[in-house]
Amino acid sequence: MTRTVADAALMLEAMAGYHPADRFSQPGAAINYRHALDDGVEGLKICYSPTLGYAQVDPEVANVWPKQREFLNS
């Protein structure tokens, strides 16, 4: 979807905004994710849910997570 972290931050800003047709979105101030690009990742945590409590995940996609978790822990 993006080629750089900066592009991902910009895309997230566009996707994270409120939309009245989306029952899960909430009105509020826009977040500028690009401001955090130079902050680093030390001390951050990642939350993972294999199904988000409702979704079926393709096994090929589900099999990627253990490998990525090992990479992130290294």
Residue-range domain boundaries for the chain = 5-73
pLDDT at position 21 is 93
For residue 62, how far is the Cα from the chain centroid? 16
- Rounded distance between C-alpha atoms, residue 37 and residue 5, angstroms: 8
pTM of the model: 0.55
Q: What is the pLDDT of residues 13-71, one digit of tens each?
A: 988 888 889 888 888 888 899 998 998 888 888 888 888 888 888 899 889 988 888 88
pLDDT-derived band at 8, boundaries 50, 70, 90? very high
pLDDT at position 10 is 94
